[in-house]
């Protein structure tokens, strides 16, 4: 069972890395689009139609595809002013509660955004500008990233709970033997 879990975890981490690479590609495309648009707008007076709207759609993928990987490396912003004064056990408990709260919020985000994306796909929703971009691809990145983040939060809750229980077991064993 341990080997299977290890393989699944490695595949999941590979998925998170793929998503962050996709997010990086989106940044590169946005930079290229913006630079090209600026050059064409001010150099040749021929801007790219609806480039601003296209950049806005890419922003959803940029943010939501990157969130799970950032959580996996614990790269989100945290304020340690008060928590640094707590015991390691209290910090671990507080971290688990934070993960539980994040999971609660992102389950809601995943569900609602999946419904919005599905609706955009079913109704063939598109932008109203000069170029008609379909909305479902951009709307689909939100539930994809949020759903993977939910799985990452569950893994973090399990990992930190096991770590916390191990710490408490060691503490009790230490008291018994002394």
Q: How do the domains of the chain map onto residue ranges? A: 2-177
pLDDT at 176: 45
For the segment 14-25, what is each residue's pLDDT rounded down to a tens digit? 999 999 999 999
| Weakly modelled stretches of the chain, pLDDT under 50 | 176-178
Cα of 65 vs its chain's centroid, Å? 5
The model's pTM? 0.85
Instruction: Kindly report the length of the chain.
Output: 178
For the segment 49-70, what is each residue's pLDDT rounded down to a tens digit? 888 888 888 999 999 999 999 9
């Amino acid at each position: 069972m341990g080997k299977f879990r290890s393989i699944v975890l490695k595949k999941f981490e590979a998925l998170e890395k793929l998503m962050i690479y996709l997010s990086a590609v989106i940044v590169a495309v946005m930079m290229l689009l913006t630079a090209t648009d600026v050059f064409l707008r001010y150099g040749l007076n021929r801007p790219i139609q609806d480039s601003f709207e296209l950049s806005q759609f890419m922003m959803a993928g940029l943010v939501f595809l990157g969130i799970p990987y950032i959580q996996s490396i614990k790269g989100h912003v945290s304020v340690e002013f008060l928590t640094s004064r707590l015991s390691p056990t209290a910090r671990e408990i507080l971290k688990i509660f934070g993960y539980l709260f994040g999971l609660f919020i992102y389950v809601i985000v995943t569900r609602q955004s999946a419904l919005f994306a599905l609706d955009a796909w079913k109704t063939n929703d598109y932008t109203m500008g000069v170029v008609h971009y379909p909305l479902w691809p951009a709307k689909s990145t939100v539930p994809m990233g949020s759903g993977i983040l939910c799985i990452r939060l569950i893994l973090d809750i399990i990992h930190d709970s096991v770590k916390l229980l191990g710490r408490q077991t060691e503490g009790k064993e230490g008291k018994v033997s002394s």
